[in-house]
């Protein structure tokens, strides 16, 4: 990244780039030269070439990872986020308001006006919780009633299904009787 592009970056973006770049360098250098030689046994006979090849591998790996990092940063969304964070940070530090901090003495804190505000906020929250609990109880009752209606309907369906074979037999007998009656009427 050029100096003109880097001048446009907020400090937190530069710090992020430096920190990640250093981490990538540590990752690239994590394989020692001895481990490298053990992996590529063909180079054991010529340690000078192995050392140069090891350094070249580290340099290439680090530059490749840095290029990937630059591509990510150039996408813009990360850069925009860092810019937004920098603006928010500037806005928050420019305010001259002092943040509220509780005093060290608890008893004097409880006597202060802040304690009254805290008590009111606590009371409001308790009322909201109580209201939610009442709504939950109502919903639980409605669910219980619905479940009992479903159970009753299920029982009725099971009773009807259990009676169905008997009713079917009776209907078949009635059908047979009507058929015989019909034949008798036709024969007369």
Q: List per-residue pLDDT tens for the chain, 188 residues long.
A: 444 455 455 677 778 788 888 888 888 788 777 887 777 777 777 878 888 888 888 888 888 888 888 887 777 677 777 777 778 777 766 556 666 666 667 666 666 666 678 888 899 999 999 999 999 999 999 999 999 999 999 999 888 888 888 888 888 999 999 999 989 888 87
Q: Enter the pTM of the model.
A: 0.39
Residue 1's pLDDT is 47
Which residue range(s) make up the domain with 177? Answer: 135-188
Residue 124 lies inside a defined structural domain of this protein = no
Residue 148's pLDDT is 94
Query: How is residue 120 written in tokens?
Result: 């009111």
Total structural domains within the chain = 2
Looking at 78, 94, 110, the residue that finishes a domain is 94
Burial 84-115 (b: 16+ CB within 10 A, else e): eeeeeeeeeeeeeeeeeeeeeeeeeeeeeeee
CA-derived radius of gyration, the chain: 41
DSSP-derived 3-state class of residue 46: coil
Query: How is residue 30 written in tokens?
Result: 């994590």
DSSP-derived 3-state class of residue 1: coil
Residue 41 lies inside a defined structural domain of this protein = yes
Phi first, then psi: what are they for 2, rounded to 5°?
Answer: -75, 170
Per-residue CA distances from 4 to 13, 46, 84 (Å) = 14, 45, 20
Looking at 75, 94, 113, the residue that finishes a domain is 94
Residue 113's pLDDT is 65
How far is CA 32 from its chain centroid? 39
Residue 84 lies inside a defined structural domain of this protein = yes
Residues recorded for the chain:
188
Phi first, then psi: what are they for 44, rounded to 5°?
Answer: -60, -30
Q: Closest Cα to residue 165, out of 176, 156, 173, 177?
A: 173
Residue 129 lies inside a defined structural domain of this protein = no
Residue 67 lies inside a defined structural domain of this protein = yes
Looking at 34, 64, 94, the residue that finishes a domain is 94
């Amino acid at each position: 990244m050029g100096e003109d592009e880097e001048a446009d970056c907020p400090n937190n973006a530069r710090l992020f780039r430096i920190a990640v770049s250093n981490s990538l360098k540590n990752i690239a250098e994590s394989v020692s030269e001895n481990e490298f030689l053990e992996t590529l046994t063909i180079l054991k006979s010529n340690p000078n070439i192995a050392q140069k090849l090891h350094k070249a591998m580290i340099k290439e790996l680090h530059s490749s990872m840095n290029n990937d990092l630059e591509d990510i940063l150039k996408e813009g969304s990360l850069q925009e986020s860092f810019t937004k964070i920098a603006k928010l940070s500037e806005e928050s530090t420019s305010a001259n308001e002092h943040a509220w901090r509780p005093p060290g003495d608890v008893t004097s804190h409880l006597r202060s006006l802040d304690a009254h505000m805290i008590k009111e906020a606590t009371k409001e929250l308790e009322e909201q919780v109580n209201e939610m609990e009442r709504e939950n109880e109502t919903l639980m009752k409605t669910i219980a009633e619905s479940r009992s209606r479903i159970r009753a309907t299920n029982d009725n369906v099971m009773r009807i299904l259990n009676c169905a074979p008997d009713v079917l037999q009776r209907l078949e007998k009635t059908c047979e009787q009507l058929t015989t009656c019909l034949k008798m009427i036709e024969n007369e």
